[in-house]
Each structure stands twice: as structure tokens, then as C-alpha cells.
Amino acid sequence: MSQSIQEVQNEIIEEFSMLDGDMEMTIGYVMELGETLEPLEEEQKTDDNIVKGCQSKVWLDAKPNGDKIHFKADSNTAITKGLVSILVRILSDRTPQEIVDADLFFIDKVGLNRFIGTQRSNGLGAMIKQMKIYGLAYTAKAN
């Protein structure tokens, strides 16, 4: 049985707590996480898949996988890619309902609101919204 959304977030909070709130280490770690992201094929990096941000681009692709949604994503900046990988780790391969209901409490807890709060510049807030919209769309389809 895989971990719940709640459990994955607790695990992430735990990982970040080891960085002691050091901003450089946090950024370094976020970038490392980006390296682990399942690659998104170049042909999936279409304008349709772009989540609008100002300084960095995020591509998000969603595919049904049984009764769940599988997300793949990428970004043109290393920090955003790392943040994207965290969101994918939490929300990919969940049911649409789980995605719609997800309360992303880890953001405040690990001090990432600094990055995610500046939605305009990195498109991450928009990415969360887009993931939820996919969740809603699939829920609607299922009904």
C-alpha cells in the first residue's frame, strides 16, 4: 500500500527539517530533487501543456492510469523543476478525488511559501491549480 498524501507530506517536512532553514541548503536540496523527476518527453512540452508563470515555465501533462491520474512535468529552471518534482511526488498516481481534496500543508511547514507564494514569477501556484483542475475534470468524467 503506497503512502497517503498526508504521509508523503510529512516525509517531505522531515527531509527539509534537516536543512535547519538554511536558504542556500534548501535551494540546493530543491534542485537535487528536480534531478529525480521523471522526464517529460520533449514533444509533451507544448504550449497547451504550459502553466503560465512569468520567469520560469512549467509544463504539466496528465494521463489516466487506471482510476488514478499520472502527472509528468518539467520546468526550464532548476529551482522550479525541484518544486515541481515535490508536487508530482505528492499528487501523482492519486485518484481525482484525492487530488481535488488535497490540503498541501507542507508548503508552509517547510518554508517553501517563499517560492510558491511568488506565483507570478514561477508559475507554481498556477501548477497546483492546474493539477486540481485535472482532478476535477477527471472526477466529472467519472461521474
Partner 1 sequence: MSDTSVVSNTLDIEAIRSQFPILHQKVNGKQLVYLDNAATNQKPQSVINALEHHYAADNANIHRGIHTLAERSTTAFEDTRKAVQAFINSNEVEEIIFTKGTTESINLVASSWGRKYLNEGDEIIVSGLEHHSNIVPWQLIAEEKGARVRAIPVLDNGDLDIAEFSNMLSNKTKLVAVNHASNSLGTINPVHEIIKMSHEAGAKVLIDGAQASSHLTIDVQALDADFYALSAHKMYGPTGVGILYGKRSLLEKMPPYQGGGEMIKDVSFDKTTFNDIPYKFEAGTPNIADVVAFKAAIDFINDLGKENIAAYEEELLSYATAQLNEIEGVRIIGQAQNKVSVISFVVDGIHHFDLGMWMDAKGVAVRTGHHCTQPLMDRFSIEGTTRASFSVYNTIAEIDIFVEALKDIIKKLKP
Residues belonging to the active site:
54
Measured between alpha carbons, how far is 74 from 58 in angstroms, rounded to an integer?
A: 6
**Structural Rg of the chain based on CA atoms:** 14
Check binding of 85 to partner 1 (CB under 8 A): no
Nearer to partner 1, 15 or 35 (CB): 35
DSSP track, 50-102: EEP-SSS-EEEEEEEETTEEEEEEEESSHHHHHHHHHHHHHHTTB-HHHHHH-
Of the candidate residues 2, 24, 43, 103, the single one contacting partner 1 (CB under 8 A): 24
Binding segment (CB under 8 A) for partner 1, from list 6-14, 72-80, 84-92, 94-102: 72-80
Check binding of 67 to partner 1 (CB under 8 A): no
Q: Three-state SS for 26? A: helix
Measured between alpha carbons, how far is 54 from 92 in angstroms, rounded to an integer?
A: 25
**What are the cell numbers at 131?**
493539477
Check binding of 107 to partner 1 (CB under 8 A): no
Shortest reach from residue 18's CB to partner 1, in Å: 17
Of the candidate residues 4, 55, 65, 113, the single one contacting partner 1 (CB under 8 A): 55
Contact positions vs partner 1 (CB under 8 A): 22-24, 26-28, 31, 54-56, 76-80, 115, 121-122
